[in-house]
Amino acid sequence: MTKTTTQTTRIAGKRVRIVTRVTATGTSVKVTDAAPKEWELQAAQVRALRAMPEYGKQFLLAGDQNSAKRGPRAQMEATAAGMTPGEADLRIYLAGGQLRMIENKVGKGRLSPAQIDRHAALARLGHPVEVVRADACAGAAVRAVELVRGWLAEASNKPLDKFVECT
């Protein structure tokens, strides 16, 4: 019979994952880097996006952390103030009144039922949410920059809806 336990902790300030396996022939312990937390992916994306030369000129961003753990009173206050379960992690405001959104998941992390419902509702209104899956902060940041660069290119190729005549 094999028994395996997994624990995430800090060793010398670094988050690590400890896997202990006990078998009839002995015990093995394996220590590996722990996956980043979702907020760490988001923070890396925000740093990378704010460093882009287009930031503040062609796009702005706003972050959310609706899934933060709150006590009953804080949860009631957040809900009353409009915090909505399932809202995307990052909103990207593009020139021309366009809104794009990014949801982050670490590795194979699943969307919550609230996220599935909210993302579907947003998509029905014409605001699809891109899900970025990453195992490292650098990968999440690179993917966010790629998405924004693509959105900016897409926006610059769209024809104007209204023409203004010069007199």
Give the predicted TM-score (pTM) of the model: 0.79
How does pLDDT run across 144-156, given as a tens digit for each residue? Answer: 999 999 999 998 8
Please list the ranges in the chain whose pLDDT falls under 70. 67-69, 158-167
CA angle 116, 150, 160 (to 5 degrees): 100
Q: Give me the pLDDT at residue 159, please.
A: 61
Q: Answer yes or no: are the C-beta atoms of 17 and 113 closer than 8 Å.
A: no
Q: Give me the pLDDT at residue 103, please.
A: 96
Sequence ranges of the domains in the chain: 3-33, 38-156
Q: Give me the pLDDT at residue 167, please.
A: 46
Q: Give me the pLDDT at residue 68, please.
A: 63
Q: Which fold has domain 38-156?
A: Trna Endonuclease; Chain: A, domain 1 (3.40.1350)
Q: Are strands 129-134 and 98-106 parallel, antiparallel or unpaired?
A: parallel
Q: What are the respective helix, strand and coil percentages of the chain, to the nearest 5?
A: 30, 30, 35
Q: Answer yes or no: are the C-beta atoms of 140 and 132 closer than 8 Å.
A: yes
Q: Give me the pLDDT at residue 40, please.
A: 93
